[in-house]
Chain A
Amino acid sequence: MGFFNNMKNRLTGRTHSVTDKFRDGLSKTRHSLAEQMNNLVKKYRRVDEDFFDELEELLIESDVGMTTVMDLVDRLKDEARTRNIKETALLKDVIIEVLSDFLIRSKEDTELNLNPSGLSVILLVGVNGAGKTTTIGKLANRLKSEGKSVLLAAADTFRAGAIDQLQVWGDRTGIDVIKHQEGSDPASVVFDALQAAKSRKTDVLLCDTAGRLQNKVNLMKELEKIKRVITRECPGAPHEVLLVLDATTGQNALNQAKLFRQASEVTGIVLTKLDGTAKGGIVLAIRNELDIPVKLVGLGEQLNDLQTFDADAFLYGLFSEWFQSEDGADPESLN
């Protein structure tokens, strides 16, 4: 009860569309998990080993990964003990608290770090097909609607049709794309884009890069070079290096985060495709083991399907039916 009210308060004042978007995106998907959580609480009225075993399984099924699942469950056990919680219904609040803590530690975690005066450079990196180019389109749209001038750099010169794909997003958003021929050196595309951004006094330059698997040494070196060029041409840049991560990814995402960070000092994660049924639980593991925050969330393929990561809304979507059963309230009546 207490937690639900808290959550409700935290959510009031937030626009309808944000929570809806999240719920629409997430609740279909969280369905089974929420249902299971529900059953879980019904099945085990008391907090005991069986309860934790099953909770463990739920988290594993969300791709959280064993190490972090064990960490989380240990913490929950500690909390239950110190707070003397014996009923599973009450422990739910604690579970949400602990997960919230894991996801967002401070406001800066989810805010894009932009240069208040002058050019900001954002570099998007990630494995093949994660959603880099699409995210650039969405992010460009959002920045533009905030009144910023934006420029795109087509530094994926490798994949067939990649430049055209970015150009379509440029056309959709009315934003210029700096591009070279397919097969040309990506670092020199970025170099040109930086010069253009400087001379046009652009606010934000978004750099698309080719998808690369983190174990490809040469491709990771290429990324390092791109980043070096950015820093050389524009001290203090890149202001953000966003690792684009497909929410359906399993444990390999940890490798991705680790090696991309090594090569390009990743500052945040964009978690895409959360409109599917994948839970994206691996971001808990990435937060736990590498301390990289999620900044943005992709919830579809259209221009507006990008949201700032919001742990409350995320968890609300995750456990919406669970809350519902506790209070007998319809989630619809929330807003």
Chain B
Amino acid sequence: MAFESLSDRLQATMKRIRGRGKVSEADVKQMTREIRLALLEADVNFKVVKKFVKSIQERAVGQEVLKSLTPGQQVIKVVQEELTDLMGGTQTKINFALKPPTVLLFVGLQGAGKTTSAAKLAYYIRKTHNKNPLMIAADIYRPAAIKQLQTLGGQLNIPVFSLGDKVSPVEIVRQGMEQARANHHDLVLIDTAGRLHIDEGLMDELEQIKEVSHPDEVFLVVDAMTGQDAVNVATAFNDRLSLTGVVMTKLDGDTRGGAALSIRSVTGTPIKFVGMGEKMDALEPFHPDRMASRILGMGDVLSLIEKAQATIDEEKARDMQQKLLSVTFTLDDFLEQIGQVRNMGPLEDLLAMMPGANRFKGMKNMQVDEKKIDQIQAIIRSMTPGEKTDPDIINASRKKRIALGSGTSVADVNRLLKQFKDMKKMMKQFMGKGKKRNPFNLPFMQ
């Protein structure tokens, strides 16, 4: 199901309040309804959603609408910031032991991705911190679990400690720890069997494993597709084991991953890493801001808004708009406009960041041709000031000169002049209907 992103959802409301200077209480109510739906569709636990929406409501009412943003964007910004805050700081460092070895314990439900994540982290930390890891195979229940870890260890050239599946996991870990010390491993990763948080016997076993291994990190491995139950699972594991971090797996899928927010807000445990694939290098540190955007289904709309804020001078844009409306919009202005957009970064990136950009008909097949834009800039720069303000004076011989100066052809120059003319005409019609332009709708992006 293509769930609507929050920004799509807010479109309707935005239309209604566009142009007003302040967000009213009624607007906020409308919007919070949409926010609630968006979060529920993203699998954020409904109790967490309730609390969250309340805090947003308090923050959003009466806010001045920033000049540069539409009220809808503003609300999204507030929501996104709040979500990011809730999910904690950006730094997710590993707690290394003062006295080695550092021990990482991986726990979680069946099939969450513990074995895979343990191996990925062994590989990751060996690379980033130059450690000498040992992995302990403490899952004696799942068929071929040990074999799975050994295969991964083999691929990564990381040793695996195992006593087969006839010795108790607690004993395996005890002996594994001894071996790690004896062989001077400064990093130990313990893979445990998947278990239900309501399985008292197996939860006891984990407590015992914790006792004999004194882990520096107890990682709960959680499938990013988890629904409302994530809070129950995380709470139960946290109560028993005092989790220090969460590894959220399978984020390479198309899930929104609202469980991240639920878990963080209910247990306070930070998400430290995310799994982005089945391969051993598909592990990344957690970024709360990206996760917030993802939960809201917005691509990186916020970074886009921020970039726009930083680079497009709002007053200038307004000026430009005025000029467009009158006949005074010149090729010089056009050049400047291109420059401003360019400052925001490569156009492809900008487009990629725009949520739903591929959903708009025109946008879908639109290729931003950076070379073409270079060409346009070159052509305009080869014109005299007089030509730029009044392109009508550009006759055949002038065209030849411009083409020569810009390393293009007369046909290219003709095309640009025609486009510019069409654009002005179009903009006039557009503006005539009283529609406000937004600074992203630049002529060559249509």
* Chain A residues near B (Cβ < 8 Å): 28-29, 57, 60-63, 65-66, 127-131, 133, 137, 158-162, 164-165, 167-169, 182, 213-216, 246, 248-255, 258, 273, 275-279, 282, 289, 301
- Contact among B37, B142, B225 for A250, CB-based, below 8 A: B225
Cα-based distance from A275 to B258 in the complex (angstroms): 23
Cα-based distance from A61 to B253 in the complex (angstroms): 23
Contact A250-B253, Cβ < 8 Å, known A128-B278, A164-B144, A273-B110: no
The 0/1 profile, CB within 8 Å of A marked 1, for residues 225-238 of chain B is 11111101100000
Q: Is the CB of A277 within 8 A of B254?
A: no
| Residues of A contacting B3 in the complex (Cβ-Cβ under 8 angstroms) | 251
Q: Is the CB of B43 within 8 A of A250?
A: yes
Q: Is B111 interfacial (CB 8 A cutoff)?
A: yes
Cα-based distance from A156 to B328 in the complex (angstroms): 66
Q: Is B272 interfacial (CB 8 A cutoff)?
A: no
Cα-based distance from A168 to B227 in the complex (angstroms): 31
In residues 106-153 of chain B, which contact A (Cβ within 8 Å)? Answer: 109-113, 141-145, 147-152
| Residues of A contacting B226 in the complex (Cβ-Cβ under 8 angstroms) | 248-250
- Contact among A65, A129, A254 for B111, CB-based, below 8 A: A129
- Contact among A65, A159, A215, A258 for B253, CB-based, below 8 A: A215
Q: Is B155 interfacial (CB 8 A cutoff)?
A: yes
Cα-based distance from A158 to B143 in the complex (angstroms): 17
Q: Is the CB of A161 within 8 A of B148?
A: yes
Q: Is the CB of A214 within 8 A of B253?
A: yes
Q: Is the CB of A215 within 8 A of B41?
A: no
Contact A277-B141, Cβ < 8 Å, known A128-B111, A249-B226: no
| Residues of A contacting B40 in the complex (Cβ-Cβ under 8 angstroms) | 60, 66
B35 to chain A, nearest CB (A): 13
| Residues of B contacting A255 in the complex (Cβ-Cβ under 8 angstroms) | 1, 254-255
Q: Is B304 interfacial (CB 8 A cutoff)?
A: no
Q: Is B444 interfacial (CB 8 A cutoff)?
A: no
Q: Is B402 interfacial (CB 8 A cutoff)?
A: no
The 0/1 profile, CB within 8 Å of A marked 1, for residues 201-235 of chain B is 00000000000000000000001011111101100
Q: Is the CB of B225 within 8 A of A252?
A: yes
| Residues of B contacting A275 in the complex (Cβ-Cβ under 8 angstroms) | 196
| Residues of A contacting B233 in the complex (Cβ-Cβ under 8 angstroms) | 248, 276-277
Q: Is B197 interfacial (CB 8 A cutoff)?
A: yes
Cα-based distance from A112 to B70 in the complex (angstroms): 55
B255 to chain A, nearest CB (A): 4
Q: Is the CB of B254 within 8 A of A252?
A: yes
- Measured CB to CB, the nearest residue on chain A to B146 is A161
Cα-based distance from A277 to B235 in the complex (angstroms): 12
Q: Is the CB of B198 within 8 A of A276?
A: yes
Among B43, B152, B278, max chain A CB count under 10 A is at B278
- Measured CB to CB, the nearest residue on chain B to A282 is B227
Q: Is the CB of A213 within 8 A of B252?
A: yes
Cα-based distance from A161 to B142 in the complex (angstroms): 11
- Measured CB to CB, the nearest residue on chain B to A137 is B143
Q: Is B46 interfacial (CB 8 A cutoff)?
A: yes
Q: Is B399 interfacial (CB 8 A cutoff)?
A: no
Among A164, A167, A215, A282, max chain B CB count under 10 A is at A164
Cα-based distance from A282 to B40 in the complex (angstroms): 13
| Residues of B contacting A252 in the complex (Cβ-Cβ under 8 angstroms) | 43, 225, 253-256
A291 to chain B, nearest CB (A): 14
| Residues of B contacting A130 in the complex (Cβ-Cβ under 8 angstroms) | 111
- Contact among B1, B198, B255 for A29, CB-based, below 8 A: B198
B203 to chain A, nearest CB (A): 13
Q: Is the CB of A254 within 8 A of B1?
A: yes
| Residues of A contacting B247 in the complex (Cβ-Cβ under 8 angstroms) | none
* Chain B residues near A (Cβ < 8 Å): 1, 3, 37, 40-43, 45-46, 109-113, 141-145, 147-152, 155, 196-198, 223, 225-230, 232-233, 250, 252-256, 258-259, 278
Q: Is the CB of A127 within 8 A of B250?
A: yes
Cα-based distance from A279 to B155 in the complex (angstroms): 38
- Contact among A65, A165, A213, A277 for B143, CB-based, below 8 A: A165
Cα-based distance from A280 to B230 in the complex (angstroms): 13
Interface of A is mostly: loop
Cα-based distance from A152 to B110 in the complex (angstroms): 23
Closest 5 CB pairs of A and B: A250-B227, A129-B111, A161-B148, A250-B43, A168-B143
Q: Is the CB of B228 within 8 A of A62?
A: yes
Contact A278-B227, Cβ < 8 Å, known A127-B253, A248-B109: yes
| Residues of B contacting A164 in the complex (Cβ-Cβ under 8 angstroms) | 143-144, 147-148
- Contact among A128, A161, A254 for B144, CB-based, below 8 A: A161
Cα-based distance from A276 to B229 in the complex (angstroms): 9
Q: Is the CB of B143 within 8 A of A250?
A: no
- Contact among A159, A248, A282 for B223, CB-based, below 8 A: A248
- Contact among B41, B148, B258 for A66, CB-based, below 8 A: B41
A–B Cβ pairs within 8 angstroms, 26 of them? A61-B228, A66-B37, A127-B253, A128-B113, A129-B112, A129-B250, A130-B111, A160-B151, A161-B148, A164-B144, A214-B254, A215-B253, A246-B111, A246-B223, A248-B226, A248-B229, A252-B43, A252-B225, A255-B255, A275-B196, A276-B197, A276-B198, A276-B229, A276-B233, A277-B197, A277-B232
Cα-based distance from A249 to B257 in the complex (angstroms): 11
Q: Is the CB of A249 within 8 A of B225?
A: yes
Cα-based distance from A181 to B154 in the complex (angstroms): 16
Cα-based distance from A167 to B143 in the complex (angstroms): 9
Cα-based distance from A182 to B149 in the complex (angstroms): 15
Contact A129-B43, Cβ < 8 Å, known A29-B198, A63-B229, A251-B3: no
- Measured CB to CB, the nearest residue on chain B to A253 is B225
Q: Is the CB of A301 within 8 A of B141?
A: yes
Cα-based distance from A240 to B393 in the complex (angstroms): 74
B137 to chain A, nearest CB (A): 11
B49 to chain A, nearest CB (A): 9
Q: Is the CB of B254 within 8 A of A215?
A: yes
A175 to chain B, nearest CB (A): 14
- Contact among B41, B45, B250 for A251, CB-based, below 8 A: B41
A326 to chain B, nearest CB (A): 26
Q: Is the CB of A251 within 8 A of B111?
A: no
| Residues of A contacting B196 in the complex (Cβ-Cβ under 8 angstroms) | 273, 275-277
Among A60, A182, A248, max chain B CB count under 10 A is at A248
| Residues of A contacting B227 in the complex (Cβ-Cβ under 8 angstroms) | 63, 248-251, 253, 278, 282
A247 to chain B, nearest CB (A): 8
Q: Is the CB of B144 within 8 A of A165?
A: yes
- Measured CB to CB, the nearest residue on chain B to A169 is B143
Q: Is the CB of B228 within 8 A of A63?
A: yes
Among B43, B112, B141, B197, max chain A CB count under 10 A is at B43
B246 to chain A, nearest CB (A): 15
B52 to chain A, nearest CB (A): 15
